[in-house]
Amino acid sequence: MNKENLSFLLKYIKKYALYLIISLVCSLVLSASILSIPYIVGITIDLMVDVNQVDIHSIINNCILILVISLAISLCQYLSNIINNKISFSIVRDLRKDLNEKIHRLPLKYLDNQPVGEVVNKIINDVETISDGLVMGFNQLFVNVITIVFALTIMFILNYIIALVVFILTPLSIFFARFISKSTYSLFKKQSQIKAKQSGFVNEMITNQKVVQVFNMEEQNNDRFDIINQELEKTTTKAVFFSSLVNPSTRFINALIYAGVALIGALICLSPNPIKIGILSSFLGYVNQYTKPFNEITNVISELQNAFSSTSRVRELLNQEEEIEDGKDELLNPSGNIKLDRINFSYSDKVKLIQNLSLNIKKGTKVAIVGPTGCGKTTLINLLMRFYDVNSGDILIDDISIKNLKRHSLRDSYGMVLQETWLKETSIKDNVKMGKEDASDEEVISALKECYCLNFVNQLENGIDTIIKEEGEGLSQGQKQLLCISRIMLTKPPILILDEATSSIDTRTEIKIQKAFEKLMKGKTSFIVAHRLSTIKNADLILVMNKGNVIEKGTHEELMKNKGFYYELFTSQYQHEN
């Protein structure tokens, strides 16, 4: 049980201190009620020992009292369970909220290097495990601890000799439970890690099932899944085996304690200074009440070990370094002057990428970025959008450093269409309105019309109100990309970034979209990343990149005259297409 994990959870528990106090009061009442029954039973037995002096009236009253106390116990248990579940599920809700918000504050560098399945596993499965541990902990721990203290106190009051026997033998079960729990913690932690690995693998395979089938990788993936599954089975079996040892072992020790108390109590009853039969009966009842919580606490400890191992993983995510603090300035009505001042950037210290790059782009310039795969085209876009921060140097918009701008303000100024399409599982209308939530239906329809989407949208069952299934299922890749482009047509941002925006669209539709883009880009600074060089002939400025650096720049005509790297790219692509 890690102190850091405990203090981490206590920060969330403190918010619900009032509920916790009420739960403690319920636990006190519950324990007192439970422990009063053996005493009443003992008194009742003593009333029946002497046949000639049986007090029927008192016996009946005691039975009624036991019934009333039993009803009170049921009510307290009910209230206690409701309150404890409220605390546990509220903590889980807060954890998931913080994890979700944390993801939005993490740099893309972290998320790019983490399997999606593992991150999802931490938010869903690990938090669920914490919930199970907290529910059992709150529901049983308070009552059991209080019951142990109360029962031991009452036993010492009734007969300190027998109570000492119980007190001396009890640590055996505690020692055994603690010994085993050390092993179970590491096993449960390993189990959580393998579960995350398995979730990531399954997520990866389901998402890319078409590729799996194209390359006939089904059998290979099944073998890999079996290896992970068997590893999980072995670890889980060990964890459950060791955690399962605790309960029967403590039960055995507690049975020995009960037998010892019964034997010593019987001998005392036969001694010159005997105790009453009723007191011995009460004592045996208290021994049961005293030892029973140890059995339940050992179960709680196993669940808590599992919960704490998951807490380590959740805490690890929440402790990740966040993006550099937001700037304070707002970018109001940007004209689109963009300056890159001797910027340097690399994803890894070992591999250099962009080095000492300087550019001065005037407002309204249509800039095309071309070059071979891995040359730094998309990286440059990521730096402009501040998805990544430059290692050194600066990027300025209208002479304001983007480091001084609030990220939301910066990104509101850009309209971006990526090669990868993303549509939410909601209506077409809401997908198009993502950048302008207050847009009217007429504005949405106009944007769809400009992007040549209206024909296929009108053919759908509910038109713009048609619900798009997960990841745009039912639409072609080209249709999904057109819908993504329509978002930008709706928002009409001052600066445009088109990263292979028409890669999945047929040539005929692409020509139409290019015309729509020409209207949209008029007077605006635009960045176009393109592999098909024929689509960027009309750009005001073409940046030719290779190995992270701009090696050539100019118009299409100027670069073709130079017969350099761009000329080779264009002619080789033209020959290939023809």
Residue 49: predicted pLDDT: 65
How far is it, in rounded angstroms, from Cα 198 to Cα 38? 51
Residue type, 61: N
**Type and span of the H or E element at 209:** helix 209-214
Residue type, 11: K
Does 472 score more than 70 pLDDT? no
Q: Measured on CA atoms in the order 514, 516, 519, 522, is the torsion positive or negative?
A: negative
Q: Which has the closest alpha carbon to 380: 227, 497, 245?
A: 497
Pick 71 or 522 by higher pLDDT: 71
Per-residue pLDDT band for 51 (boundaries 50, 70, 90) equals low
Q: Measured on CA atoms in the order 175, 160, 35, 262, is the torsion positive or negative?
A: positive
**Type and span of the H or E element at 544:** strand 541-546
Per-residue pLDDT band for 260 (boundaries 50, 70, 90) equals confident
Q: What's the pLDDT tens digit per position in 540-556? A: 888 888 877 888 888 88
Q: Is 457 exposed, middle or buried (0-12, 13-18, 19+ CB in 10 A)?
A: buried
Residue 199: predicted pLDDT: 79
Backbone angles phi, psi at 121, to 5 degrees: -60, -40
Please tell me which of 72-81, 109-118, 466-475 the model is most confident about, judged by mean pLDDT: 72-81
Does 577 score more than 60 pLDDT? no
Of 151-165, 169-183, 238-252, 256-270, the range with the lowest mean pLDDT is 169-183
Q: What's the pLDDT tens digit per position in 214-226? A: 667 788 888 888 8
Residue 67: predicted pLDDT: 92
| Domains of the chain from N-terminus onward | 3-15+87-318 (1.20.1560.10), 421-492 (3.40.50.300)
Q: What's the pLDDT tens digit per position in 557-569? A: 988 888 888 888 8
Mean pLDDT of 502-508: 71
Secondary structure of 16-34 in HEC code, one letter for each residue: HHHHHHHHHHHHHHHHHHH
Question: What's the mean pLDDT when you consider all of the chain?
Answer: 81
Residue 573: predicted pLDDT: 67
Q: Which two tokens stand for residue 354?
A: 């962009």
Q: What's the pLDDT tens digit per position in 63-97? A: 898 899 889 888 888 888 888 888 888 888 998 99
How far is it, in rounded angstroms, from Cα 324 to Cα 346? 17
Residue 210: predicted pLDDT: 67
